[in-house]
A and B are shown apart, each in its own frame.
Chain A
Amino acid sequence: MNPTNYLYLSALLFTIGAIGVVMRRNAIVVFMCIELMLNAANLSFVTFARINGNLDGQVVAFFTMVVAACEVVVGLAIIVTIYRSRRSASVDDASLLRR
């Protein structure tokens, strides 16, 4: 398949993830949308690795995966801590810093 199609797919998935981050209220769903954006970026890394004919893009995608895994671990721990103290996983309720 033409590599450009993968780039289109990557752009679409990234956009959908961005909409999700802005529009959804549940912190876990927001988190999953961030994962979607990271995955979309990974797809374009892999595609560009193929276009350029070297493996550097794949190495970068691998690092992205590791960093995303770290981010998920810490983020979910934060969500659980917030849920424990506030009984809610909505991003709108955690507005303590505003006041």
Chain B
Amino acid sequence: MGPLAVLAALGMLLVKKAVHSALLLAWVMITLAFFYIAQGALFLGIVQVVVYTGAVMMLFLFILMLVGVDASDSLTETIRGLRPIAITAAIGFGGLMVSLIGRASLGREPIGLEAANAAGNVQGLAYLLFSTYVFPFEVVSALLITAALGAMVLAHHQREVGRPTQRDLSEQRFRSGSLATAAGLPGPGVFARHNAVDVPALLPDGTAAPASISETLRARGDMIDSSQFQLDHINTEIVEEK
């Protein structure tokens, strides 16, 4: 699973869309949870799944939805020469770390957690947390509360200008340039031929009115050509039935 985690992390760097990187990161975190459990850290493995892949990654995806999924990253470099320097530095750093780990020796065999986990991993952690580490524990809880408060303050949004009323909007329509849209935008659909929201209405001269389509549909390209519903394309001959 280690190579899979490294592949997913590399993919995180290379994929263009932020959502895909988020999913790959979630996979890396799940593999890390497996590794934690495999190394006798049962509690941390569960917390990794619950807190990281559950809460933090969902928060990331939520913010991605808020900011816009299509906000794909441009992979062009803005600072010239940054990418080669970054890759060289990273290879240097990674090589240093790997060679360091390869050469260093602990001088003894790894002890393993069997003795420390004798009373159960959660119990052992709780004992440490509430005896040796009780002060850092309290400080961290204060930090957590402060962070929650800070996020609430940052996310709070107060309107400086009041919301425009219907009256304001109406006056604005009449005062702005042309009176063409004073009565509101035309509705979509062609009379008696097609009433779907993705067909632009036809103007009196027979041209399509793109303003009658919702902007979202227009941006997505989900617009049907309305010329096939024009009158001169329709057989208007009256056939008498006998």
- Taking Cβ atoms with an 8 Å cutoff, the residues of A that contact B are 1, 3-9, 11-20, 22-26, 28-29, 31-33, 35-36, 39, 42-43, 46-47, 49-56, 58-59, 61-63, 65-74, 76-81, 83-84, 89-90, 92
Note all chain A residues with C-beta closer than 8 A to B22: 28, 32
Interface of A is mostly: helix
Interchain CA distance A68-B147 in the complex, whole Å = 11
Contact indicator B101/A50 (Cβ below 8 Å)? no
Compute how far the CA of A67 lies from the CA of B89 in the bound complex, rounded to whole angstroms.
27
Interface of B is mostly: helix
List B contacts of A52 (CB < 8 A). Answer: 111
A65 & B52 in contact (Cβ 8 Å cutoff):
yes
Contact digits for B130-141, partner A, Cβ 8 Å, 1 yes 0 no: 001100110010
Q: Is the CB of A73 within 8 A of B111?
A: no
Number of residues from B at the complex interface, CB < 8 A: 81
Q: Verify B154–A22 contact, CB threshold 8 A.
A: no
**Is B94 interfacial (CB-CB < 8 Å)?**
yes
The answer to whether B129 has its CB under 8 Å from any CB of chain A is yes
Q: Identify the stretch in B78-86, B205-213, B216-224 within 8 Å (CB) of chain A at 4 or more residues.
A: B78-86
Contact with A along B61-84 (1 / 0, CB 8 A): 001101110010111011000110
CB-CB < 8 A to A35: which residues of B? Answer: 25, 52, 56
Question: Complex Cα distance A7/B189, Å?
Answer: 64
Residues of B within 8 A of A6 (CB): 2, 35, 39
